Structure 1
């Protein structure tokens, strides 16, 4: 990962973990605890892609595994968030921007369900049967509901911050958009193409005008030279007649 991504991801993950442990976990809500860490990982993965999303998810989950009160095996949540970040990053478009909020909303729903199921599955493999006593169906419904309620406030904000650390896509990156511009970025580069087009057209008009002016001057000079030559010929003929 690039340094600018690390400098943004690390504070966001730490702040999300502190809020989740100190505030959300103490609300005593029925069912699951609102997973703020999951939403931050999703927001970063939707901008950084599958590689960046998997790395952010792994280190965020590992930090959550080590943070007190840790009541599960270390690496359990790191594995879950690593897979979630990788899959969410696969939905990132080539130009880095989603055209609508439908796909991120579907990603949040799938991540809430998938993370709960994977967390329970990994727990059953290591001998943790707490999910059976609570009820997996209640955990799925409550986790999905809480994440959907928090997603409109968390995911767009994280994505906006993450885009500030990303370089602008190059013009003519072969994305198949007209005029060789990056897809979804035409409005951002329109003023550049318009300005260059106006300058080029003005330069062409000036060159045409200069060519026309030169042609007129040349024709005028040619007319004057022809007239003077005819006058000389007339004078010579007149002298011969005399």
Structure 2
């Protein structure tokens, strides 16, 4: 039960950082998705069940906080958490390049999934403008922030074993 409390508290702290402090420190349009990074790290270290749960909870909170299309973050983070969790048994968890490579792939998949969902819902999206203007810079931030977040989740996961 303590583990669930720590995960919930972590998601809430990351949401607050992402919504309040990071926009002040970084460009307003482009910022890292700390909740995505946390979901992917939990998937790689704890498995798909926890990652799907964390993806659902963090995506739901992000949907509520952002005011965008409701459910789009929830669906995308659950899917990305599931995919990251599939790799749990197949990766060397201590390797420093693991979170960076995983975030590169996860950020691209997350962005493509969100754009596809928005297109499916009838929104006109300029895919090339979205890629160059927001997605690629955000991807770089996600890769940079992935290492400290992953290391923190790794330390927490070792305590739970």
Q: TM-score, normalised by structure 1?
A: 0.60
Instruction: Quote the residue 1:86 is aligned against.
Output: 82
Deviations 1:51-109 (A, max 9, x none): 11111101110111012x41x22111000000111111111127x96252333322111
Richer in helix (by share): 2
| RMSD over equivalenced CA pairs, Å | 2.3
Q: 1:4 to 1:90 in 2, by over 3 A?
A: farther
Mean Cα displacement is larger for which, 104-113 or 29-38? 29-38
Instruction: Indicate yes or no: 2:107 matched with 1:112.
Output: yes
Equivalence for 1:146:
141
Instruction: Return 5+ residue gaps in structure 1 as ranges.
Output: 167-242
Q: CA deviation at 1:113?
A: 0.9
CA deviations on 1:163-183 (whole Å, 9 max, x unpaired) are 2123xxxxxxxxxxxxxxxxx
Query: Structure 1 residues 32, 120: closer, same or farther in 2, change over 3 A?
Result: farther
Matched, 1:37 2:31: no
The normalised TM-score by structure 2 is: 0.87
Aligned partners of 2:100 and 2:144 also within 8 Å: no
Aligned-pair distance for 1:33?
A: 2.3
1:126 deviates by: 2.0
Asked if residue 5 in structure 1 is aligned to residue 8 in structure 2, the reply is no
Distance 2:156 2:14 in 1: 15
5+ residue gaps, structure 2: none
Aligned residues: 160
